[in-house]
Amino acid sequence: MQFGIFSVSDITEDPTTGVTPSEAERIRAITTIAKHAEEVGLDVFALGEHHNPPFFSSSPTTTLAYIAGQTERLQLTTATTLITTNDPVKIAEDFAMLQHVSGGRTDLMLGRGNTGPVYPWFGKDIRQGLPLAVENYELLHRLWREDVVDWEGRFRTPLQGFTSTPRPLDDVPPFVWHGSIRTPEVADQAAYYGDGFFANHIFWPASHTQRMIALYRQRFEHYGHGTAAQAIVGLGGQVFMGKTSQAAKDAFRPYFDNAPVYGHGPTMEEFTEQTPLTVGSHQEVIDKTLGFREYVGDYQRQLFLVDHAGLPLKTVLEQLDHLGEILPALRAGFAEGRPADVPDAPTHASLVAAKYGDAEPRQPRPRANRGDNVTGGSPYQDTSAKPAEPVGRSGSAFGPAATRTEAVR
């Protein structure tokens, strides 16, 4: 079971002081937060992607690469990478590069995002959100698994003999989580490929999350990847802790009441009763978090949101200290009664072991004499002759995008 934190990268005024951090301050702070997460024993740090104020994280792989250079064991991921508006070729390149510079401590979460205007900003139509997600991921999946790709679809220019570089570390692609709050087609897409499914699990009641996870598990088994209990599930969550329950509530209330995402709506007590938000003592957080398993089953990754709503850096670091103190109880609680056939969260090491066993991992090299991506000719030689046919293609393991589209209808 992995535990970690995720940030949506908001820049929000502290309602107790009236101070709003600058972009530079928040960007520096996120590195401090990630490093402290590793120091207190957490396993995962995830960073969102946004392209509009009041958020700063427009290039999460840049930030995660910088964090990778200052940490040793922290798993680095996103929450989420926009599969609809990013070019899948660039996603393939960026995350393979992050794999290499982090020594394999990389996976990613894909999603459609929650900011409608981002679609036209990148030349896309929001009405095509689901078809974009389906087609773009079909291409991304192939780019990491085939050395040379020929491809044609609806939403981007065709590729002819294209090799995405660098190739994935050890020829093993980063593990992919598909994140969604309310879209069953995304849960089905995750199940179709045998990938992980991450339920945001912040704003919705437990009954909603339960239905989404149940659908994913059922479809995971339907597609032949294992039993429903072996599906790879991650959950989000929100916590704010204090030495006593009342101290936590008193400290967090002004932030909750003024937070752009849920302030001026239900009371904090109503929100904690109806959603996974936990504001209270260590034991209250332990009890409620362990209770998630009652409605989603045994799962692999739990991420907490702790740096939002204008909370100052000092308070965020204190919250990480609290998380570090309750980690042993959380690990023990989730381990108790966990069936032996429920897998752990995939890591690069486990994926390499699953692929190669005791054999030496392959170090992929694009063909040295292959030349450019368009003609196959060398830029240093006469290319007037007909280029040789590309080699190394294995074909898509999951069929064309049209087949994939049918699967999620």
**What pLDDT, on a 0 to 100 scale, did the predictor assign at position 201?**
87
Would you tell me how many other CB atoms lie within 10 Å of the CB of residue 82? 24
Of 235, 332, 325, give the one whose Cα is nearest residue 281. 325
Would you tell me how many other CB atoms lie within 10 Å of the CB of residue 19? 11
Percent of the chain with pLDDT over 90: 72
Q: What are the strands, taking DSSP E only, across 181-227?
A: 196-199
Average pLDDT, the chain: 88
Of 369, 393, 364, give the one whose Cα is nearest residue 149. 393
Kindly state the average pLDDT of the residues 32-43: 98
Give the pLDDT band (50/70/90) at residue 378: very low
Q: Quote the CA–CA distance of 234 and 393 in Å, as a whole number.
A: 33
Residue in the structure block whose two tokens are 């001026």: 264
Three-state SS for 188? helix
Q: Is the predicted pLDDT of residue 164 greater than 50, yes or no?
A: yes
Kindly state the average pLDDT of the residues 205-227: 96
The secondary structure of the chain in percent helix, strand, coil, rounded to multiples of 5, reads 40, 15, 45
Structurally, at CATH architecture level, domain 2-407 sits in: Alpha-Beta Barrel (3.20)
Q: Is the predicted pLDDT of residue 376 greater than 70, yes or no?
A: no
Give the pLDDT band (50/70/90) at residue 202: confident
**What pLDDT, on a 0 to 100 scale, did the predictor assign at position 181?**
81
Q: Is the predicted pLDDT of residue 233 greater than 70, yes or no?
A: yes
What would the two tokens of residue 142 be? Answer: 């192939």
Q: Report how far Cα 150 is from the mean position of its chain's Cα atoms.
A: 27
**What pLDDT, on a 0 to 100 scale, did the predictor assign at position 382?**
39
**What pLDDT, on a 0 to 100 scale, did the predictor assign at position 395?**
35
**pLDDT tens digit string along 241-255?**
999 999 999 999 999
First and final C-alpha spacing in the chain: 32
Q: Is the predicted pLDDT of residue 347 greater than 80, yes or no?
A: yes
Q: Is the predicted pLDDT of residue 363 greater than 70, yes or no?
A: yes
Q: What are the strands, taking DSSP E only, across 185-292?
A: 196-199, 233-235, 239-241, 278-280
- What is the secondary structure of 119-149 as a DSSP string? HHHTT--GGGHHHHHHHHHHHHHHHHH-SSE
Diameter of the chain by CA atoms? 78
Whole-number CA gyration radius for the chain? 22
**What pLDDT, on a 0 to 100 scale, did the predictor assign at position 365?**
67
Contact 116, 124 (CB under 8 A): no
Q: Is the predicted pLDDT of residue 386 greater than 50, yes or no?
A: no
Of 141, 132, 133, 71, give the one whose Cα is nearest residue 106. 71
**What pLDDT, on a 0 to 100 scale, did the predictor assign at position 189?**
96
Q: Quote the CA–CA distance of 95 and 168 in Å, as a whole number.
A: 8
Q: Quote the CA–CA distance of 390 and 384 in Å, as a whole number.
A: 17
**What pLDDT, on a 0 to 100 scale, did the predictor assign at position 403?**
39
Kindly state the average pLDDT of the residues 317-343: 97
Q: Is the predicted pLDDT of residue 369 greater than 60, yes or no?
A: no
Of 312, 304, 314, give the one whose Cα is nearest residue 279. 304
Q: Quote the CA–CA distance of 104 and 74 in Å, as a whole number.
A: 10
Q: Is the predicted pLDDT of residue 390 greater than 80, yes or no?
A: no
Is pLDDT larger for residue 59 or for residue 265? 59
Q: Quote the CA–CA distance of 234 and 301 in Å, as a whole number.
A: 4
Phi/psi-derived region of residue 81, left when phi > 0, alpha when psi is between -120 and 50, beta in every other case: beta
**What pLDDT, on a 0 to 100 scale, did the predictor assign at position 169?**
96
The one-letter code for the residue type at 236 is G
pTM: 0.88
Print burial letters for 312-337: b (CB count within 10 Å at least 16), e (below 16): bbebbbbbbebbbebbebbeebbeee
Q: Quote the CA–CA distance of 379 and 391 in Å, as a whole number.
A: 19
Contact 115, 361 (CB under 8 A): no
Indicate the range of 13-27, 177-191, 357-371 predicted with least confidence: 357-371
Kindly state the average pLDDT of the residues 280-296: 97
What would the two tokens of residue 257 be? Answer: 């009441």
